[in-house]
């Protein structure tokens, strides 16, 4: 990791699918055991994506904002966790939501990540539920 330097930008599924898929495949499919057929959905093509890349141009993180204001598919590859990449991805998605005039953002957080989102003002709603074999909680943030 070149001094932990990375770049963050908005991405589109049409142009950047390979890079976005590489991160999500590594984190969700390989690491967490999410069935690949559950990882890709109809929302990818219509969502705004953010992509983080290291100094060599390798994809290291991603997230998406659905048209209805849901944040999802937040993922950072293992070696880049705890270095601010996830927070930068989330900040970019929140900025995009504000620019769209959205009043709030919702997401389904894996329970191990509740603290990450809570530190950014998200509040837990409802009971724990299973998604692809992983416990989640719904969270919401008023913008």
61 falls within a domain: yes
Confidence of residue 2 (pLDDT cuts 50, 70, 90): low
pLDDT average, residue stretch 56-80: 96
44 falls within a domain: yes
Cβ 89 vs Cβ 46: under 8 Å: no
Task: Look over the chain and give the mean of its residue pLDDT values, rounded to a whole number.
Answer: 95
Instruction: Pinpoint the alpha helices (H) of the chain.
Output: 13-24, 36-39, 85-99, 114-118
Judged against a pLDDT cut of 80, whether residue 1 lies above it is answered with no
CA distance to 9, 10, 94, 128, 135, per residue, from 91 (Å):
11, 12, 5, 25, 24
Q: Give per-residue pLDDT as tens, 98-138.
A: 999 999 999 999 999 999 999 999 999 999 999 998 999 99
Confidence of residue 24 (pLDDT cuts 50, 70, 90): very high
The predicted pLDDT at position 66 comes to: 97
110 falls within a domain: no
The predicted pLDDT at position 78 comes to: 95
Judged against a pLDDT cut of 90, whether residue 20 lies above it is answered with yes
For a pLDDT cut of 70, what percent of the chain falls above it? 98
139 falls within a domain: no
The predicted pLDDT at position 82 comes to: 92
The predicted pLDDT at position 3 comes to: 64
The predicted pLDDT at position 4 comes to: 81
In terms of residue numbers, what domain contains 28?
6-102
18 falls within a domain: yes
* H/E segment holding residue 82: none
22 falls within a domain: yes
pTM: 0.93
CATH classification at residue 11: 3.40.630.30
């Amino acid at each position: 990791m070149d001094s932990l330097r990375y770049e963050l930008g908005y991405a589109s599924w049409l142009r950047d699918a390979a890079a976005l898929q590489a991160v999500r495949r590594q984190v969700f499919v390989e690491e967490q055991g999410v069935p690949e057929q559950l990882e890709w959905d109809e929302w990818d093509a219509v969502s705004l994506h953010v992509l983080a890349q290291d100094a060599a141009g390798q994809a290291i993180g991603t997230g998406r904002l659905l048209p209805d204001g849901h944040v999802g598919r937040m993922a950072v590859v293992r070696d880049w966790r705890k270095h601010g990449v996830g927070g930068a991805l989330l900040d970019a998605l929140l900025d995009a939501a504000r620019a769209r005039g959205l009043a709030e953002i919702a997401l389904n957080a894996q329970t191990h990540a509740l603290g990450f989102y809570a530190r950014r003002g998200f509040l837990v709603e409802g009971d724990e539920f299973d998604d692809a074999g992983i416990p989640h909680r719904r969270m919401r943030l008023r913008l």
